[in-house]
Chain A
Amino acid sequence: MKLTFTYLKKYRVAAIAALVMMLIELAVELSQPLLISKIIDDGIRQQDTAVVWLWGGVLVGSAAVAFLAGILSSFFASHTSQGFAFDLRDKLYEKVQSFTYDVFSRFPTSSLITRLTGDVSQLQDTIFMGLRFMTRIPLVVIGSVVMALVVHVKLGLLLTVTLPFLVIFMIWLMRRASELFRNVQNRLDGVNGVIQENLTGIRLIRVFVRMGHEIGRFAAFSGELMRSTVAALRLTETSTPFIMIIVNAGILAVLWFGRIEISTGDATLGQTVAVINYSLRTMGALSALSWIMVSFSRARASSVRIAEVMSASEGPGELGMTTGNGATPVQAGLSSQHGQSQSVFHKGSDHQAPAVQGKVEFQQVSFSYPGSDIKVLEDISFTVQPGERVAIMGATGSGKSSLVTLIPRLYECGSGMIRVDGKNHTEMDIQALRRSIGYVPQEVLLFTGSIRENIAWGNDQASQADIEQAAAAAQIHETVAALLQGYDTQLGQRGVNLSGGQKQRLTIARALVRRPAILILDDSTSALDAVTEGLLLAELKKMSCTTFLITQKISSTASADLILLLDEGRLIAQGTHAELMEESALYRKIYQSQTGEAQHVQSTH
């Protein structure tokens, strides 16, 4: 909840204005029973028409004032809650983007998504309602009780004694309900998790004919969600009937004692009626309570979940976060008094260090994934000169991918040091470092948008010529050009309308358009046939960037300047093709397994 107030601060003026508007409305409503008691006692009972006209006129006038205040409050409250949600969503997303990859992967993606969408909306709705209705409830209750006491102390006290019961009951209910709603939220996460998994794995599910199984699994999850929702709501629904019983008991008491007081002349009919009216208003206000509690406890749960993300440390060495002011809703031209927001990320390009040359050294580097004690890499040392090509080979799980993810610092190495151009790379500006690296991961990840946008994603300054050049080097230009809409062809999520190999080459083009000093190809040529791959490698040679190439194919290692042979996290051999043919038995075996076939082909020819 503290978090909520931090973000509300910026909109305090509008929020307070909304509350003031609400107070005006409230004052008008609370004066009504008092005025009606005046009409009864001084007007009707005294047969005085002027008094009735006067107070009737006041009632009409105040109704108009209250209406105006209500309309204004709608704008203030909407501005506050929408601005709040904008800021919170914006900051939250920025925060998520500022996580190191390692911190990021600690949160399940589906859960981060709900936090960014559902939870923020929940808080926003609660704030909107809070500014207009929720805060009004306690005020109506307190105001009614005070006014009842003002009208007639003894009768008012009868309404007052019901309050402690209501308060204690409410507090108990509040606690219990928030627990139950937390449960509901967790179940909802579970359901959403299954949905996401199913959407991602839809093809696999189809081919294994596991639709029934998945539907059954989903039904089990949503069944649990249903049961926990019913349990939570059943509890909150007891509140209104309970309040009704307590307050109605109060009304009965007022009637009983009111009759006695009137007969002794200690109270007037108008006063008794006014107290009853205040009691009815208290009840009316309180009956909205169960609904408010639902939103409130949900809001609290949401706030906790958002705070969890907000308070997670971004991880060491990552992009410097500036705290404080949220970003401004720029397009709306609002919040001018708070000044322009600062970008979270250093704009490093202006004071950029000299361009990276591409020399990479590993010195006794060891690495394990966070939260695991298995050493994925152990004591790795090698040196690559600028422009050289390094081929990395090794069995599945030998640590090849881990090794290359250390270079752009997606993960930090445990011990040892990585130097780029002779500098310890943890001391370099991470933005500048990553700007000089082109990375093509194993899995093909493309974004929604056109082919052009996807390639230019690597470098937003790229011209059409740059894009085509990169595409040509990645051996995809001809394919793209042959498409009906060429570079404007839209790609669906994960680029489903192209084949695996084509998508892979787009991701390569995306890396090449950066003109990187260091290029990392994490087994990214696997879906390419030998001819295409050969052409690609020839192009890369021309680009003279230091290239790390994870590969299984002797055809691509043979021309490398350095080959690293990994086995279970250790570097068991390094050198050129010729050297390894001499030194490494494993390398020779791999060579034979691949080229042996080719020679065999040759001989039958």
Chain B
Amino acid sequence: MFKALIEPFRYPKLEVGHGEAKVFGAMGSRKPKAKAKNWSGTLGRIWHYLAERRAKLVLVLFMVLLSSGLSLLGPYLISRAVDDYLGGAGGRTWGIFLLILALVYLLNSLVSWLQNVWMIEVAQETVYRMRTELFAHLHRLPISFFNRRQQGEIMSRLTNDIENISSTLNSSAIQIFSSILTLVGTVGVMLWLSPLLTLLTFIVVPLMMLGMRWITRRTGPLFKERQRNMGELNGFIEETLSGQRIIKAFSQEERVITGFRERNTRIMLSGYWAQAISGFIPKLMNGLNNLSFAIVAGVGGLLAIRGLVTVGIIIAFAEYARQFTRPLNDLANQWNTLLSAIAGAERVFEVLDEETEARDEGAAVKLQHVEGAVKFSGVSFSYEGGADTLQDISFEAKPGEMIALVGPTGAGKTTLIGLLSRFYDPSRGSITLDGRELSTITRESLRSQMAFVLQDSFLFKGTIRDNIRYGRLDATDEEVEEAAKLANAHAFIMRLQDGYDRMLSVDGSGISQGQKQLLAIARAILANPSMLVLDEATSSIDTVTEIKIQEGLQALMRGRTSFVIAHRLGTIRAADRILVLEGGRLLQQGSHEELLQQGGLYSELVRGSKEAAEA
């Protein structure tokens, strides 16, 4: 029992952010300037979003003004009732007085309802815009952004952080405004009623300032730390749940549970301190509230005996003193959400500030029709300042030609394709399409002239039909099935429960990898592109199926410039030109026969596959 009682005080002290102070607004004066700029910058940007609903917002503000005034009127009227009608002699106008009071009360209810409902509408529309904007922005970021980050972390910004902003805007924003109004109004009315009692009540203000500063200096970094830990845990959860199959097969449950527990403990520690300390705020307010009540009652009583104030004024002050701290109390109640929302908003804006995929150059043109003549001249490429992944590559593909990329794994084949589709731009050298510099063509129009069957064939949650239709959104059901037939996927689809309407989950469970690739091929066929990229597309399709699909692929490739990364001799042989890559260099190029005559790596590769077959 005793142990359990002292447990809450035995948490190790948490060192965060090098003890940096992060204070909000005017409450701290020792804060470093840069940090404050950060905060106000973030707030400014949130405002920028809100401002788009300016008209409604003005209406909300007007309502807040009205309701603040009405709630000030209530206690004053009660004090008049006490002095004039209950304790005093007046009685003639009693009925009218109560009627006015009733009207004030009714109006106050109505106005505060309207103000909240309208604000929620504004807030939700704002959050909706932020969410969709962030989402759209993600689609403009370069692929390398996603390579660098954990999916769970990005996920957390789009979900948790936005949710935080949402719940804060719903209530906190309006409360902050109404708090300030009520504060100013209350102080005014109090001064008017009794300057002396007002001054005495204000003794609590410096105490409050001190207390708040002490608290907020500690909570800011703690909340940031907790948010960071949360992101990390989310990433861990995401990854381990997506990789569940491996965890099971390797029976590594215990290990991931331990890893989880470590992260979980970190969250608990930072969460404990953040919550405990930020929890002081309402208590501080409450305490000062009680103190000012005591002052009003005690000192007010003494003054009343000397006839300096009336009982009614004490009653009004007791209520006003509460109203005077209540706005601050509300502010304090919203402090938690506000802090984490601003931290969240900062993280959201961080993503929005990420540089997007280099804009298409001003003069970039949209491609209309493409012949498909591709020329690489002296192209080199390196990922973000690393060693060259590709070095001095030059070759030419005539319209309709099939180019096979051959070479050991890691030779740079995938990178070459990435350059062709402008996921990356070459560090040196130039690539042209139909004689036009690739960098002068908009990415979108370039990519919509190409169809891809990638290494990791990705399927969306949805029906098989939808997944194929992804290649061309306006395709009819017949066209979808036609494409599936060409890709040789039709037969297996028909064998599935629900056929084309079979629902697929994101991980495509229920169908095999090879089947996934057949669907990806059907998708590419449907897209009907001018250029085609097959990245080891046929590798997990069995030989028998491959024989059948070859016809489809041949039909697809006819008249289209195709780039194929494949290891199969059959595919390679059919190519018009073979590029042999190793270590980022183009070692040989030519037709199958030419290359065999040259000897070198190509004939080694060919011999290797033959020897392996006979081993």
Per-residue CB contact flags for chain A residues 334-352 toward chain B (1 = under 8 Å, else 0) read 1111000001110100000
Q: Flag if A530 contacts B609 (CB, 8 Å).
A: yes
Q: Residue A313 at the B interface, CB < 8 A?
A: no
CB distance from A37 to the nearest CB of B (A): 10
B305-328 at interface with A (beta carbon < 8 Å): 305, 311, 314-315, 318-319, 322, 326
A44→B294 contact, CB < 8 A: no
Interface of chain A: mostly helix, strand, loop or mixed? helix
Known: A49-B302, A244-B112, A255-B78. 5 other contacts (CB 8 A): A222-B135, A237-B117, A242-B109, A252-B98, A533-B612
Query: A42-74 vs B: 1/0 string, CB under 8 Å?
Result: 011001110011011101101110110011011
Nearest residue in B to A79 (C-beta to C-beta)?
B8
A298 to chain B, nearest CB (A): 10
CB of B416 to closest CB in A, whole Å: 12
Query: A197 contacts which of B138, B171, B423, B461 (Cβ < 8 Å)?
Result: B461
Contact B461 A460, beta carbon cutoff 8 Å: no
Is the CB–CB distance between A445 and B254 below 8 Å?
A: no
Contact, CB under 8 Å: A529 / B409? yes
A 206-227 contacts with B by CB, 8 A: 206-211, 213-215, 218-219, 222-223, 225-226
Does B10 interact with chain A (Cβ within 8 Å)?
A: yes
Interface membership of B585, Cβ < 8 A: no
Q: How far is the CB of B156 from chain A (nearest CB, A)?
A: 8
Which of the listed residues A35, A259, A333, A501 has the most CB atoms from chain B within 10 Å of its own CB? A501
Residues of chain B with a CB closer than 8 A to A204's CB? 452, 454, 458
**B residues 366-384 with Cβ under 8 Å of A?**
383
- The interface residues of chain A lying within 8 Å CB-to-CB of B49 are none
Q: Is the CB of A323 closer than 8 A to any CB of chain B?
A: no
Asked whether A113 lies within 8 Å of B124 as measured between CB atoms, the reply is: no
Check B318 against A439 for contact (C-beta < 8 Å): no
Known contacts A241-B109, A497-B147; decide if A112 and B241 are in contact (CB<8 Å).
yes
Stretch with Cβ within 8 A of A (4 or more), from B19-27, B38-46, B181-189, B257-265 = B257-265
- In chain A, positions 556-571 with a C-beta closer than 8 Å to chain B are 556, 558-559
Judged by a CB distance under 8 angstroms, whether B101 is at the interface is yes
Contacts of B506 in A (CB 8 A): 108-110, 196-197, 200
- Is the CB–CB distance between A335 and B265 below 8 Å? no
Beta-carbon nearest neighbor of B357 in chain A: A206
CA A226 – CA B250 in complex, angstroms? Answer: 43
> Provided the pairs A208-B447, A210-B470, A597-B569 are in contact, do residues A439 and B151 lie with their beta carbons within 8 angstroms?
no
Partner of A408 from the list B128, B249, B495 (CB cut-off 8 Å) is B249
Query: Quick one: CB contact mask for A158-182 with B, threshold 8 Å, 1 for yes?
Result: 0000000000000000000000000
Contacting residues, chain B, for A82 (C-beta < 8 A): 268, 271-272, 275
Which residue from B149, B245, B264, B305 sits with its C-beta under 8 Å from A89? B264
Kindly state the interface size class of chain B when it binds its partner. Answer: 35 or more
Task: Return chain A residues, CB-CB under 8 Å to B12.
Answer: 331-333
CB distance B286 to A458 under 8 Å?
Answer: no
CB distance from B325 to the nearest CB of A (A): 12
Segment among A97-105, A142-150, A416-424 that sits at the interface with chain B:
A97-105
Q: Indicate with 1 or 0, residue by residue over B39-61, a CB within 8 angstroms of chain A CB atoms.
A: 00000000000000000000000
Contacts of A98 in B (CB 8 A): 253
Interface centre among A210, A496, A500 (most CB of B within 10 A): A500
- The answer, yes or no, to whether A238 is at the interface (CB within 8 Å) is yes
**Looking at the complex, which one of A83, A199, A225 makes contact with B268 (CB distance below 8 Å)?**
A83
Stretch with Cβ within 8 A of A (4 or more), from B276-284, B395-403, B432-440, B478-486: B276-284
Chain B CB count within 10 A is highest, among A201, A203, A337, for: A203
Note all chain B residues with C-beta closer than 8 A to A532.
408-409
> CB < 8 Å: which of B85, B109, B152 contacts A244?
B109
Known contacts A118-B159, A529-B567; is A219 also within 8 Å of B132 by CB? yes
- The answer on a CB contact under 8 Å between A555 and B612 is yes
Query: Which of B151, B159, B473, B569 is in CB contact (< 8 Å) with A213?
Result: B473
